Structures are given as C-alpha cells and as structure tokens.
Amino acid sequence: MVTRDNQRSGLGALKLGFVGALAVCGLAGAGEYSSPAEPEQRGAIGSVTDENDAWSNPFGPHQDRHYTHGVKLAFLGSDTSLTNVTGWFNRLFAWGRQPWPGNFGFVAGQNMYTPGNILDPKPIYTDRPYAGWLYGGLLYQRRNEHTAHFATLESFELDLGIVGPDSEADDTQTFIHQWRFPEDIPQGWGNQLHDEPGLLLKYAHLWRYSPSDSVAKYFDLLPRAGFELGNVAVFATAGAAARVGWNLPPDFGAQLIDSPASVNGGMNPDSPRLGAYLFAAWDARYVAHDITLDGNSFRSSQSVDKYDFVDDVTWGFALELCRHLELSYAHVTRSKQFVGQVHQDAFGSINVKWRFNF
C-alpha cells in the first residue's frame, strides 16, 4: 500500500521529528536515572500504531498480502481519571490480594486482510480471503510496581465492531491506491467476508524482571501470556521479550495491534529525558478460531484451512524523548497461518506514544 517514494518521505519525516525532539529536550539531564515514581504520579497516554507489510522492507520490493495493514488508536487515562470507577475495578480484580492501581482507556482501529494477488477479480480459493475488521473498545489496566526491577501488569480490553463491507477496509485500500498508485487498484474486494458484528475480549498478564535495580536501566526480561475470546478470534498465547539499552523505561514494551495487551505507560516526572533500547521477542499462539481465515460464523463464505499453531519472531528498537514521547519500530516474521501458504509473512509496526502533562 506504500510506494518507495512514500516510504522515504515518511522516514524523512521521522528523522526530522527525531532532530526536533532532541532540540527541544537538549542533552541536560539525559543521563539521569531514577527508580519508577509512585504509580499515582502517572499521566494520560496517547498512542498511534500503524502496521503494514511494506514497513517490513522499507527500501525493497513488497506486495499487499495477507495481513496487509492495520491501524490502532489508543488512549489510557491518568491515575486521577475516573477514580471511583477504577477503584471499584481495582477491588473487583484484586483476586484476593491488595488492590493494584488501575487505569481506564479507549481504543479504535481497523485491520485489513487480502490474498496475495489483489488484481484478480475472481475468488482465489487457495489463498486468504479478503476481510476487514473495524472496531472500538474499552481498555482497563492494573499494575503492581514491586520494585524498580520487578513489576507486573494485567491488561483487559473489550472490542466491539464489524467484519465485512461495513468495516470500510475495501474503501480504505482502494482510496489509498487511487491516490498513490492508480495502476494497482485492488479488484477482488467483492469476494470479501459478509458483514458480521464482532466481539473480542482480550486479556494479558505481563511481567518485567531485571536482576537488580541498577541493572534495570540497561536490561530486562518481559515474559507475557494471554488470550483473546470472541467470534472474531479465539486463541491463547505466551512468549517473552528481552530489552537492552540505556535508561530503559519502566513499562512493558511495545505491543502489536493484535496482541492481547495494549498500550502501557511507564514514564513519570523522574524519568530521564533521553533513552534508547533494542528488543527481541518470540511469541507462540494456539489458534482455535480466526474469522479472517475460517470465514463467517453463520453464513457460507470463502475460507482456508488454518494451522492451529503460529509463532512470531520480533525485533526492533525504541527511542524515549523528553519524558513525554516514545517512537518505536518492530519487525515481525509470522509463521505460515494456513494450508497452501507458500511463504511466511512479514510486516512492520510503527508506534508513536506520548504522555500528557503529569
């Protein structure tokens, strides 16, 4: 969906953004590091994630294929937002322990799936069907900062939306292609899944561990496990990420759009002004149902025979700027998802996350 010129202009804009942010921050205080502040000091967080198969190889050839594009907007309120409601949820999900502090938020997004050949107007029964998923939802997270080198997070997300023509995925892809490269207009969206209301409950439990408080600013491990449940998808997943860098933020790492966990924060008034890290991760999932592969729940539609076990290998980097801005990139290689799939898929995930005033 993105031409090489468009990719270069986008990378140029990111580069200008880095330079501008560094100019605003300055280097004063960039090397300071403090242990995570008390949870109640955290402010609201906004996040935009854009994923595309084109981002997996910004300087080389690519094609629209399978999970070809996704965008997700997220907002997580501050510790002083909806305190009566969050207090009730904190006690509800205490699981018999001392309640952890929690935060409420909102999400909205759109995912797009196509076969490998988008120029063929006929159904391609040996390849993934066309499908779109448009949704909005509520987010609730609760965390426990045990020490600077050990913390846990629980993430709950409830999404409601639509799969099918009313998801507007066909219009989105067609509009972008008409605008950027009119010689490559998708022709097969008439074969997409039928309209079906979608419900998806996401849950994830994440841990952050480092051997000591002093090591925590340079290295940590992020094990995670979770599930998604609904007519859109049913799967369980587990995995872990490792981060190494300078002034690691006390959060739980960058999350993909289809991860059970969503945006999470960690920056506070005592955080360093500048930080950077590299990360690598592996996640495995058992997929009992995926509407974009299995087809509609109650109507006959195109489908493929999916594989039950899928895994992701991810690597990337992140920059923390001015205590309020994080820019991250993740490259994801996903194993084959259905019988007859010739190659593994790869896509890139770009995230911009910002913190409002504390």
Is the model's pLDDT at 303 over the cut of 50?
A: yes
Q: Which residue type does 180 have? A: R
Higher-pLDDT residue of 135, 19 = 135
Confidence class for position 41, pLDDT limits 50, 70, 90: low
Is the model's pLDDT at 17 over the cut of 80?
A: no
In a domain, 211, yes or no: yes
In a domain, 33, yes or no: no
Report the alpha-carbon distance of residue 6 to residue 2 in Å, rounded: 6
CATH of the domain at 315: 2.40.128.140
- Give the pLDDT score at 269: 67
In a domain, 270, yes or no: yes
pLDDT-wise least confident of 74-83, 100-109, 188-197, 341-350: 74-83
Confidence class for position 331, pLDDT limits 50, 70, 90: very high
- Give the pLDDT score at 70: 96
**Token pair of 248, please?**
């690691």
Residue 314: how many other CB atoms lie within 10 Å: 20
Is the model's pLDDT at 35 over the cut of 70?
A: no
Mean pLDDT of 215-223: 96
In a domain, 35, yes or no: no
* Non-local CB neighbours of 98 within 8 Å, separated by 6+ positions: none
- Burial class from Cβ neighbours inside 10 Å (0-12, 13-18, 19+) for residue 14 reads middle
Domain containing residue 229 = 4-27+43-355
Is the model's pLDDT at 259 over the cut of 50?
A: yes
Confidence class for position 77, pLDDT limits 50, 70, 90: confident
Mean pLDDT of 87-113: 84
pLDDT-wise least confident of 84-88, 245-249, 260-264: 84-88
Integer CA distances (angstroms), 41 to 85, 101, 217, in order: 18, 11, 20
In a domain, 108, yes or no: yes
Mean pLDDT of 55-66: 80
Domain count, the chain: 1
Higher-pLDDT residue of 99, 37 = 99
pLDDT-wise least confident of 86-100, 108-122, 257-271: 86-100
In a domain, 34, yes or no: no
In a domain, 243, yes or no: yes
- Give the pLDDT score at 304: 97
Mean of all residue pLDDT scores within the chain: 86
Confidence class for position 272, pLDDT limits 50, 70, 90: confident
In a domain, 227, yes or no: yes
